[in-house]
Chains A and B, each alone.
Chain A
């Protein structure tokens, strides 16, 4: 996150400014009255100010507090800060190329949102998206162009994602959307909009490479808490729909509810069913 080319002097200056600001806010000057003071700061990667104030996910982060001595040796403090930031960057929640959430964060949120869906009887839509003919793009235009397309698609998700929803890149050209409280109809409206915007993105991806089309295929599974599923099983449900779209000519989406018939089927075990049938 902080690399060598960042100007250390400017950073030091910034830290000093920050220190003055903090001391000013707690009503103290930079005199020695606070020479034993300690600033506790916390870095939460991937979280915007709005999200922080809405209180979402605050509980999901641990072990990211850092102590920064207010009147200590700035250089030494900076070294420690640097080290901590590197660690956090390494263990961060964002995907470096796309700026979307990464797979690990996605799995964590999916698990949490599934539990919420079970507990509060809310639907939860999971969409898995895949760039159509991505291998061809890579093969004919090169990997740089491929990365560019991934970035373009990610930007569509990033700019269009609603508050409270999550967009992640979970594979090379594979994306996932988590839409809490969205049922089949609502999630259909949301993913349709993304499909349309992806069709509109800039297809000039290199000086001599212009794509004929750039489209997505999308599979959506709507979870309602029954039958109880693991995140992997729900992903498999969405994947199944995604493959069906691929088979049917790509550039589209399919939504499947994890419906009542299936649910009743799996809620009642075989021994219970036989008992009910035979009396």
Chain B
């Protein structure tokens, strides 16, 4: 590695779609940027990429150009702010590449690792579900945020995701974020079900990262193609997100020594 690593990597996952995962990934990235933390957001949802749509940017190049035409990552980077907040987009609706093979994955990982030294935070927005691309990216980052809603189906699918990553890939480090909660009580109750199930059936402790309240401003911000924390910074959901961003920043500070000796993305997985 040469010099010590300072980039803290985080993958954002969900067992099923429609739980607000991508919107959260965007807002966490903006929130981190607002704390003066250089952040790179990577859209890894290769089949249904829509980070660019959510942000109203029209990127010229994307991750497929890196894979297919040998472009460098620098050439695909899309600046979300003048300094310190960048996006690597993925192409939406490209048929035929929803799953990457091992070779292509390693190729991207290697490129990312060489490219990341300017960033303090890497956020990977992964597709929903437990497909091979999701699983292999999820096990490479330092930490994983599992986004759930309090609905039983979301809890079940998130549990399935955690179970597979833990049992098959030895990943034992999960932070649960409850989105679209009507109240803190409902969020904690939802989290508690996952925690208890992981404890009872897997013997695995998981952590509570926090909750984000259900808020009409979220869908408004999406239709205006702006990050919520910019569009409505005083809204309940934006306040919740800001609290979570502070926790993530602490998490990185606490892990500084642990990540110094490892790449931001470790191809063999963290398990």
A residues apposed to B, CB below 8 Å: 117-118, 120-123, 181, 183-186, 189, 224-226, 260, 263-264, 267-268, 272-273, 275-277, 279
Which bracket fits the contact residues of B? 35 or more
Interface residues of chain B: helix, strand, loop or mixed (majority): helix
- Which residues of B, 216-232, contact A by the 8 Å Cβ criterion? none
Residue from the list B95, B192, B201 in contact with A279, Cβ < 8 A: B192
Q: Which residue, of B102, B128, B131, B192, has the highest number of chain A Cβ atoms within 10 A?
A: B131
> Is B159 in contact with A272, judged by CB distance below 8 angstroms?
yes
> Is A267 in contact with B155, judged by CB distance below 8 angstroms?
no
Q: Complex: how many Å from CA A89 to CA B246?
A: 69
Is B101 close to A, CB under 8 A?
Answer: yes
Segment touching A, from B22-30, B132-140, B177-185, B253-261 = B132-140
Contact A275-B196, Cβ < 8 Å, known A121-B135, A264-B15: yes
> Is B99 in contact with A123, judged by CB distance below 8 angstroms?
yes
B residues apposed to A, CB below 8 Å: 15-16, 95-99, 101-102, 128-133, 135-136, 152, 155-157, 159-161, 163-164, 168, 189, 192-194, 196-197, 200-201
> Is A224 in contact with B163, judged by CB distance below 8 angstroms?
no
> Is B132 in contact with A272, judged by CB distance below 8 angstroms?
no
16 A-B residue pairs with Cβ-Cβ distance under 8 Å, sorted by A, are A120-B102, A121-B102, A122-B101, A183-B96, A183-B99, A185-B97, A185-B98, A224-B131, A225-B132, A260-B128, A264-B129, A272-B197, A275-B200, A275-B201, A276-B152, A276-B197
Q: Complex: how many Å from CA A260 to CA B133?
A: 12
Interface residues of chain A: helix, strand, loop or mixed (majority): helix
Q: Complex: how many Å from CA A267 to CA B157?
A: 9
Residues of A within 8 A of B136 (CB): 120-121
Residues of A within 8 A of B161 (CB): 264
Residues of A within 8 A of B16 (CB): 264
Report the minimum CB–CB distance from A178 to chain B (whole Å).
Answer: 15
Closest to A225 in B: B132
Closest to B137 in A: A121
Q: Complex: how many Å from CA A277 to CA B130?
A: 20
> Is B101 in contact with A181, judged by CB distance below 8 angstroms?
yes
Given contacts A120-B136, A181-B102, A272-B197, 10 further A-B contacts (CB under 8 A): A122-B132, A224-B132, A260-B129, A264-B129, A264-B161, A267-B164, A272-B201, A275-B196, A277-B156, A279-B193
> Is A268 in contact with B163, judged by CB distance below 8 angstroms?
yes
Closest to A271 in B: B201
Q: Complex: how many Å from CA A39 to CA B218?
A: 76
Q: Complex: how many Å from CA A184 to CA B47?
A: 12
Of all A-B residue pairs in the complex, the 8 with the closest CB atoms, nearest first, are A260-B129, A185-B96, A121-B132, A264-B160, A267-B160, A121-B136, A181-B101, A183-B99
Report the minimum CB–CB distance from B11 to chain A (whole Å).
Answer: 14
